[in-house]
Amino acid sequence: MNEPHDSASRVPSTADDVARAAAAAPDLAALDAVVPQCRACPRLVAWRELVGVEKRAAFRDETYWARPVPGFGDPEAQVLVVGLAPAAHGANRTGRMFTGDRSGDFLFAAMHRTGFASQATSTSRDDGLTLTDVRVTAPVRCAPPANAPTPQERRTCGPFLGRELALVRPRVVVVLGGFGWQALLTTLAEQGWAVPRPRPAFGHGVELVLAGPDGAELVLLGCFHVSQQNTFTGRLTPQMLDAVLVRARALCSSL
């Protein structure tokens, strides 16, 4: 699953390559196949591969994915959950968004409680987890040093998310954290979405309706990030995350 295939003939090595490859992907399977081949951001390529060689001690016997991470979940999802970028020893290790770290444990447990996920745990690409009516993705597909992609790296990666939105056509995007919120709004504006200026501020529970390039409406729903910093301190509780996911489902029914 998610392995590159022959139809994605050219490795994206520049921002123009990314834009071309994203636009040329006829469907989600093709997009998910080309994303892991990308090498357009030299700093991120070097970092993701270095992390995959140095490894964390607890994972020293594992082979890290060490490549860009495609979105994961229901191809016809009405709800998209968007973070900022893969975690170095989480998705960059396992090759699946939010899989293999504490943030993912918290997120998928909530998805399971609210009926979006088939199981409460997410440990590897072949653990049997399936998602219904939800897909998880990110504006930046490679793990960045210090969890901080540069504006140029976010811009270069933007067409992948733009194409994913066009192919999935979700009705609601749950945005995890203020950095993800800013990155997503900037990416959406660059991809032709009508984003107000000044940009609406992030907040937990904030809702923002945007019109897409084709006129379709999308609701952004802010949620504190599922990082340990938030979940260990109680800033984000399981009940709060459940409420956001339930709200996302209700919004889909009302739109």
> Coil, strand, or helix at residue 167?
helix
Tell which one of 82, 138, 140, 236 touches ligand SF4 (CB under 6 A): 140
Stretch of residues binding ligand SF4 (CB under 6 A), selected from 57-65, 134-142, 199-207, 233-241: 134-142
* Residues paired with 218 in a beta bridge: 210
Q: Please tell me the distance from the alpha carbon of residue 222 to that of residue 128, in angstroms, as a whole number.
A: 29
By CB under 6 A, how many residues form the interface with ligand SF4? Answer: 15
41's tokens: 């951001």
Q: Please tell me the distance from the alpha carbon of residue 122 to that of residue 109, in angstroms, as a whole number.
A: 9
Here's the x/- map for ligand SF4, 44-63, by CB under 6 A: it reads as: xx------------------
Tell which one of 40, 97, 161, 165 touches ligand SF4 (CB under 6 A): 40
Nearest approach in angstroms of CB 181 to ligand SF4 is: 18
The amino acid at residue 133 is: D
Nearest approach in angstroms of CB 136 to ligand SF4 is: 16
Torsion angles phi and psi, residue 222, rounded to 5? -75, 145
Stretch of residues binding ligand SF4 (CB under 6 A), selected from 152-160, 177-185, 188-196, 222-230: 152-160
Nearest approach in angstroms of CB 61 to ligand SF4 is: 26
Pairing of strands 172-176, 79-82: parallel
Closest to ligand SF4 by CB, 154 vs 204, is: 154
Tell which one of 68, 83, 162, 222 touches ligand SF4 (CB under 6 A): 68
Stretch of residues binding ligand SF4 (CB under 6 A), selected from 37-45, 171-179, 203-211, 216-224: 37-45
| CB atoms inside a 10 Å sphere around CB 100 | 24
Tell which one of 19, 25, 34, 41 touches ligand SF4 (CB under 6 A): 41
* Residues paired with 208 in a beta bridge: 220
Query: Distances from the Cα of 43 to the Cαs of 20, 35, 48, 73, in angstroms?
Result: 21, 17, 9, 28
Torsion angles phi and psi, residue 131, rounded to 5? -115, 140
Torsion angles phi and psi, residue 135, rounded to 5? -140, 140
* Interface contacts to ligand SF4, rule CB under 6 A: 18, 35, 38-41, 44-45, 68, 140-142, 153, 156-157
